[in-house]
A = this chain, B = another copy of it.
Amino acid sequence: MITTPIQLRFNDIDIQGHMYNGQYQHIFDLGKNEYFEHVLGIEQMDGRQTVVTANSTTNFYVPVGMKDKIVIRTSIEKVGNKSFTVFQQMVDQVTGTVKADSRTVLVGWNAVDKESFAIPAEWREKIEREEAH
């Protein structure tokens, strides 16, 4: 599991004073990117070994305000043949409250040759090692 502290932006907050629903995946992606970079070594989103999103689900539990200190917790809970599932939580750093969570199915994608690829054994090992903590 990777924990990513989030720097909220003025434009994350809507007219009701809460984080706008549409922004949640922008923020969850900060966690995914840190996981991809630090655990899988994916540096570039336009390279030969990158990922594309097949499906994404978000559950909204407790609104987030501008002054909340939040972190994203990211883990990979399942690895399939050509895809894997990321589970993430948006957590209030002070109270520990889980404000939202998200599941995303990602597919291995070669952005140069425009084709999917089987999840490499090297990724499986790195994910298993990370998630074994």
Contacts and interface: CB of A to CB of B under 8 A. Distances in A.
Interface of A: 6-7, 9-11, 13-17, 20-23, 25-26, 29-30, 33, 43, 45-46, 52-60, 66-67, 111
Q: Mostly helix, strand, loop or mixed at chain A's interface? A: mixed
Contacts of A26: 9-11, 22
Question: Could you say how many copies of this chain the assembly holds?
Answer: 4
Given A15-B46, A15-B66, A45-B16, A29 B56 contact: no
22 contacts: A9-B30, A10-B26, A11-B14, A11-B20, A13-B15, A14-B14, A15-B17, A15-B46, A16-B46, A16-B111, A21-B25, A21-B29, A21-B56, A22-B22, A22-B23, A22-B25, A25-B25, A43-B67, A52-B60, A54-B60, A55-B60, A57-B58
